[in-house]
Amino acid sequence: MIQSIEMKKIEHIGIAVKDISESNKLFASLFNKSYYKMEEVLSEGVKTSFFQVGSNKIELLESTDENSSIAKFIEKKGEGIHHIAFAVEDIEHEIKRLKKEGFHILNEIPIKGADNKMVAFIHPKTTNGVLIELCQDIYK
């Protein structure tokens, strides 16, 4: 077994939405605060916004491309929780460790994601139906 570098915390919970503008209003009302960041990730075909709720973050994701994973998710399942993201110290190490443990990694080479992170995803078929995202801060 490869020595583990523990996952640090839940980094955020991702929620797929059809209309980010309307969802931003809904969640701003729910949390009694506005999102702190909004950005587009062209490579993934999504527009995202982030809400800070105590020590937790919620990411809303709207598809900007009909072929994106978010568009396919909403078409198949509707709006709702899309993934749970975990912060890691060394994403490449965690990918190797999890592969060795038998998890199916969707992108074995981390990609640039939203909120200044490098990300990789674990296929939900190997995690009881939950899409897991690994996130590592991109240091400036």
Distance CA 61, CA 76 (A): 15
Which amino acid is located at 134 in the chain? L
Strands annotated E in 8-129: 9-17, 37-41, 46-53, 56-63, 80-87, 111-112, 117-122
The neighbouring-strand residues paired with 121 are 133
Cα within 13 Å of Cα(97), Cβ side: 15
pLDDT of residue 61: 98
pLDDT in tens, 2-44: 455 567 899 999 999 999 999 999 999 999 999 999 999 998 9
pLDDT in tens, 90-100: 999 999 999 99
Tally of CB atoms within 10 A around 58: 18
Sheet holding 46-53, edge to edge: 37-41, 46-53, 56-63, 9-17, 80-87, 132-137, 117-122, 111-112
Question: Under a CB-based contact definition with an 8 Å cutoff, are residues 132 and 121 in contact?
Answer: yes
Average pLDDT along the chain:
93
φ, ψ of residue 35 in degrees (nearest 5): -65, 155
pLDDT in tens, 75-118: 999 999 999 999 999 999 999 999 999 999 999 999 999 999 99
